[in-house]
Amino acid sequence: MIPAMLRVMTLSLLRDRGALAMAFLLPPVIFVIFAAIFSGVGGDAMELRVVLGIERNSPAAERLTQAMRDEPSLRFLPETLESADAVAQAVNRGAADVGLVVTGDLADTTTPPITVLVDPGKVMAGAILSGQVQRVLAKHLPDLSLARTLPAVESLVGGWTPEQSARLTAAMEQMAAANADQPPALVQTSFVGPQGGSGGTVTYYAGAVAILFLLFSAMQSAATLIEERHSGILDRIAIGPAGTDVVVIGKWIFLTVQGMVQVALIFLVAALVYGVDVLSHSWLWFLTSLAAAATASGLGLAVASICTSRQQAQTISTFVVLVCSAIGGSMVPRFMMPPWLQDAGWYTPNAWAIEAYHGVLWRGEGLLDLLPELGWLWACALAATALALIVSRKRLRM
């Protein structure tokens, strides 16, 4: 009996292409995605997007910026800005992952002359850049550390003799030429945005979780279309003038409204527990949520119309949701991914929905700023729903 059972199970698996993909294709795909993400965090593949600002130029600042631009793990925007405010605006609107500003003379011993500007939703990006700056300073500009400590030592010993001053100057020049390893403390980190601390991170993950569960819920609920097809309900409805279109459109509207309620509950918790300001941006939040819910509903119905069984639909929908969520930023922030994976993320609804929510609730963007995100989401929603309508009509003729 056991060999017979094994044979039956093997044949069932081989005949179910969805189950085959789920069992043998999905695991390596997910592994490749996460391996690409986390191997890039500690290596040169991550390539943070950095905007550079120089408020006070000097030979030392030029040496630092050139050494930073030579770093393979950093992608500097081509334009160099002239103020910390301009850099903060670039980081705040998402043009760069993090900002680097030379705010003063690198030999200044009173305040840190280098500032790393960080979006609170990308705290890790700031920590990575700060570490890179410290490493570059220690490797390429060790003389700066000595220059910053000499005044304090001089005040303690009562000044230097001319001979000592000459020897110190020569030693500093030798350190600069030899790239000695003397790590200076020249860097400070500052947050940008309307809030501080973890507000940006909470806002990011509220949007990330919202689109993740919208996709899961829509995929599962849309599978009822398959059951109605098998039970003959669609055949009876198709006798009417609207055909099967009324079923698909009706389900799309219902799933969109259901998704709106789910998203509202997520952001209600975010507002009550973590202080995310949803009320001040309620209109734009509504438009974003409507577009995200409509997109998830359309994709769910497209998958359900293509699949021939509920089991097949569950398999394919799980595959689609996991891959889109991994690449699109629902599981891991996209700035931690290598560039090729970040580019691939723009082909998922997750990336556009997360950017829209973060833009509305954190960066305070207006309707014109959101048009690219909303336009892409609605285009995806309408295309997926149209596909579901076309496939349903063809199945009716078969």
pLDDT lower than 50: segments of the chain = 43, 156, 180-184, 196-198
Tokens for 263? Answer: 């998203």
Domain boundary among the residues 191, 217, 233 is at 191
Identify whether residues 205 and 354 lie together within a single domain: yes
Q: Give the pLDDT score at 357.
A: 94
Q: What is the sign of the dihedral through the CA atoms of 192, 193, 194 and 196?
A: negative
State what percent of residues in the chain have pLDDT above 90: 26
User: Do residues 280 and 365 touch, judged by C-beta distance below 8 A?
Assistant: no
Tokens for 71? Answer: 């770093």
Domain assignment present for 23:
no
Give whole-number Cα distances, 367 to 48, 121, 132, 375, in Å: 28, 21, 37, 11
Domain assignment present for 236:
yes
Q: Give the pLDDT score at 165.
A: 67
Q: Find the CATH number of the domain harbouring 184.
A: 3.40.1710
Tokens for 363? Answer: 């960066």
Identify whether residues 174 and 215 lie together within a single domain: no
Domain assignment present for 6:
no
Identify whether residues 155 and 263 lie together within a single domain: no
Range of the structural domain that residue 71 is part of: 48-191
Domain assignment present for 31:
no
Q: Give the pLDDT score at 289.
A: 97
Residues in a beta bridge with 117 = 99, 190
Domain assignment present for 150:
yes
105: Cβ contacts below 8 Å, ≥ 6 apart: 56, 58, 60, 113
Domain boundary among the residues 191, 210, 245 is at 191
Q: Give the pLDDT score at 208.
A: 93
Q: How far apart are CA 334 and CA 106, in angstroms?
A: 33
| Model pTM score | 0.76
Identify whether residues 203 and 123 lie together within a single domain: no
Identify whether residues 322 and 391 lie together within a single domain: yes
Residue with tokens 């294709």: 25
Identify whether residues 90 and 169 lie together within a single domain: yes
Tokens for 26? Answer: 């999905």
Q: How far apart are CA 78 and CA 49, in angstroms?
A: 11
Q: Which of 125, 143, 131, 133 is nearest to 67 (CA)?
A: 133
Strand, helix or coil at 49? Answer: strand
Domain assignment present for 37:
no
Residues in a beta bridge with 80 = 52
Identify whether residues 167 and 267 lie together within a single domain: no
Q: What is the spatial order of strands in the sheet that 48-54 belongs to?
A: 74-81, 48-54, 98-102, 114-118, 187-191
Identify whether residues 252 and 341 lie together within a single domain: yes
Give whole-number Cα distances, 48 to 111, 173, 326, in Å: 26, 32, 19
- Beta 98-102 vs 114-118: how paired, if at all? antiparallel
User: Do residues 102 and 54 touch, judged by C-beta distance below 8 A?
Assistant: yes
- How many other CB atoms are there within 10 angstroms of residue 111's CB atom? 11
Residues in a beta bridge with 74 = 48
Q: How far apart are CA 197 and CA 369, in angstroms?
A: 25
Domain boundary among the residues 158, 191, 224 is at 191
Q: Give the pLDDT score at 197.
A: 44
Identify whether residues 378 and 327 lie together within a single domain: yes
Identify whether residues 309 and 326 lie together within a single domain: yes
Q: Give the pLDDT score at 151.
A: 60
Domain assignment present for 348:
yes
* DSSP string across 166-220: HHHHHHHHHHHHHT-------EEEEE-SSS-TTHHHHHHHHHHHHHHHHHHHHHH
User: Do residues 158 and 123 touch, judged by C-beta distance below 8 A?
Assistant: no
- How many other CB atoms are there within 10 angstroms of residue 235's CB atom? 12
Identify whether residues 263 and 332 lie together within a single domain: yes
Q: Into how many domains does the chain fold?
A: 2
Domain assignment present for 22:
no
Identify whether residues 369 and 309 lie together within a single domain: yes
pLDDT in tens, 139-168: 777 666 666 565 655 554 556 667 766 766
Report H helices in 275-335.
Answer: 282-306, 310-328
Residues in a beta bridge with 49 = 75
